[in-house]
Amino acid sequence: MSNDIKIGIMSNDIKIGLFGYGCVGQGLHDVLNNSKGFRSNIDTIVVKNKHKQRRLPQDAFSFEKNDILDKQDIDLVVELIDDAKEAFDITKTALKNGKNVVSANKKMIAENFEELVALQKNHGAGLLYEASACASIPIIRTLEEYYDNELLESVSGIFNGSSNYILSKVINEGLDYPSALAKAQALGFAESDPTLDVGGYDAKYKLVILSGHAYGIFIKPEKVFNLGIDNLNEPIIRYARDQKLKIKLIAQVVRLDDKNVTAFVLPKLVNSDHPLYNVENENNGVIVRAAFSDEQIFIGKGAGGHPTGSAVLSDISANSYDYQYEYKKMSQANKFLFTNNVTIDIVAAGFNEDLQKIPFVSIQSQKQGLIEGKVKLETLIALQNEIRSSGIFIATTGEPEVLHTTFKNKDALVEV
């Protein structure tokens, strides 16, 4: 595979200004160099660290962001850095200057979602970000275009490749947690700060983005409950093994009724009939449940340079035929609200004295180091820092208590 930057730009090539040359930037470079049907060229690459060893010579890089932002003949800004604040500055400046942007930065998009949609509208420039959610799975454009008029019941799944990889290695192969995490980092799956992966934050950012395209709603990430797999402990591993269940980190946005949706990220215990039971390693899986099309499942690589680079390529290609998100669900008459007022079934594993602090609505069973029962999501949110620091592992065991779904209750569908 050639690592050369193509030079001698043809007049009709798309000129790309690339920010970042980490795992995804390099992946994109490989993908572009091997893409036959599409003519684009990386004109300028801006990186931050002058002293980092990279696979291209030092003179292939610039260290000044205005070398891209101020350059008139760059057609498209591709932002693949991991600093969400800096990524937002770059994206905002580019959009304000009327330049289209492709980004993979889920944190940046989730935290500034509403402003980014307004910036696009106000400046007539487009922002595409398929690579920000579930890497190679084309879920954003699918929600935006295919399901634009479907009554969605839920969008859920494994949205973080690193956590899934760690769970596969620790539970299926018996590797210890720190070694599994180190492997996920070495393979380029994990974020620079892996707490984002194993704490469920990364999955939450992706969930916020998908909720926008599925339900036309801007949810502030800090309102969404997330617990990850970092408190994985022996009692929960034993519990899952004894019952032949697997643990998967699941992000879900669920329609509760005609007005309300809830969203949260929590590990879930799944049996062998569950569609995500066999989704292992860095793969992601997205389940879309809808009133008319029922259930559809999308599975594919959710992390890594080439799968993520392929999603960026798809956006670069879409940009070349002027594709922009219309945020169709946002302009529909029915406006959804976000709520944490929902009851969920959980099993909590940890020290008995810590487990007593969880405000269960009802307890189904209780034994040494484990409590199964029902809990209100809003009461868990209030305790989330305490739960994290006490080492309690929480997993859901069922679906959130939905008030009304046409998916489950087919009689609610009006037939002609």
Catalytic amino acids? 206
Strand partners, 330: none
Q: In this structure, are residues 107 and 83 in contact, taking their beta carbons and an 8 Å threshold? A: no
160 near ligand HSE, rule: CB under 6 A: yes
Phi, psi of 322 (to 5 degrees): 65, 25
Q: In this structure, are residues 277 and 109 in contact, taking their beta carbons and an 8 Å threshold? A: no
Site for ligand HSE in 110-149 (CB under 6 A): 135
Task: Give whichever of 43 and 82 is closer to ligand HSE, judged by the CB atom.
Answer: 82
Q: In this structure, are residues 275 and 410 in contact, taking their beta carbons and an 8 Å threshold? A: no
Q: Which stretch binds ligand HSE (CB under 6 A): 37-45, 154-162, 249-257, 379-387?
A: 154-162
Q: Which among 326, 317, 281, 272 has a CA at the least distance from the CA of 299?
A: 281
> Looking at 76, 155, 190, 286, which residue binds ligand HSE (CB under 6 A)?
190
Map residues 273-302 to x or -, x wherever contact with ligand HSE holds by CB under 6 A.
-----------------------------x
Q: Which stretch binds ligand HSE (CB under 6 A): 13-21, 183-191, 212-220, 322-330?
A: 183-191
Please return the burial class of 324, using the count of CB atoms within 10 Å of its CB with bins 0-12, 13-18 and 19+.
middle
369 near ligand HSE, rule: CB under 6 A: no
303 near ligand HSE, rule: CB under 6 A: yes
User: Least distance from C-beta 65 to ligand HSE, angstroms?
Assistant: 23
DSSP assignment of 36-74? SS--EEEEEEE-S-TT---SS-GGGEE--THHHHT-TT-
Number of residues that bind ligand HSE (CB under 6 A): 11
Task: Give whichever of 43 and 197 is closer to ligand HSE, judged by the CB atom.
Answer: 197
Can you tell me the distance from the alpha carbon of 286 to that of 282, in angstroms, rounded to the nearest whole number?
Answer: 13
Is the four-CA dihedral 308, 314, 318, 320 of positive or negative sign?
Answer: positive
User: Least distance from C-beta 273 to ligand HSE, angstroms?
Assistant: 25
Task: Give whichever of 42 and 137 is closer to ligand HSE, judged by the CB atom.
Answer: 137
Q: For 13, left (φ over 0), alpha (ψ -120 to 50), or beta?
A: beta
393 near ligand HSE, rule: CB under 6 A: no
Query: What is the DSSP pairing of strand 393-396 with strand 343-349?
Result: antiparallel
> Looking at 161, 199, 300, 305, which residue binds ligand HSE (CB under 6 A)?
161
191 near ligand HSE, rule: CB under 6 A: yes
Query: What is the DSSP pairing of strand 260-270 with strand 225-226?
Result: parallel
Task: Give whichever of 202 and 345 is closer to ligand HSE, judged by the CB atom.
Answer: 202
Place of tokens 């020290």: 351
User: Least distance from C-beta 135 to ligand HSE, angstroms?
Assistant: 5
Q: Which stretch binds ligand HSE (CB under 6 A): 71-79, 155-163, 359-367, 375-383?
A: 155-163
Element (H, E) at 402: none
Site for ligand HSE in 198-257 (CB under 6 A): 202
Describe the crossing of helices 113-123 and 201-215 by its angle, rounded to 10 degrees.
50
> Looking at 162, 231, 262, 281, which residue binds ligand HSE (CB under 6 A)?
162
Q: Which among 330, 262, 263, 318 has a CA at the least distance from the CA of 117?
A: 330
Radius of gyration of the chain (CA): 22
Task: Give whichever of 167 and 371 is closer to ligand HSE, judged by the CB atom.
Answer: 167
> Looking at 61, 129, 147, 189, which residue binds ligand HSE (CB under 6 A)?
189
User: Least distance from C-beta 163 to ligand HSE, angstroms?
Assistant: 7
372 near ligand HSE, rule: CB under 6 A: no
Residues near ligand HSE (CB under 6 A) are 135, 160-162, 189-191, 197, 202, 302-303
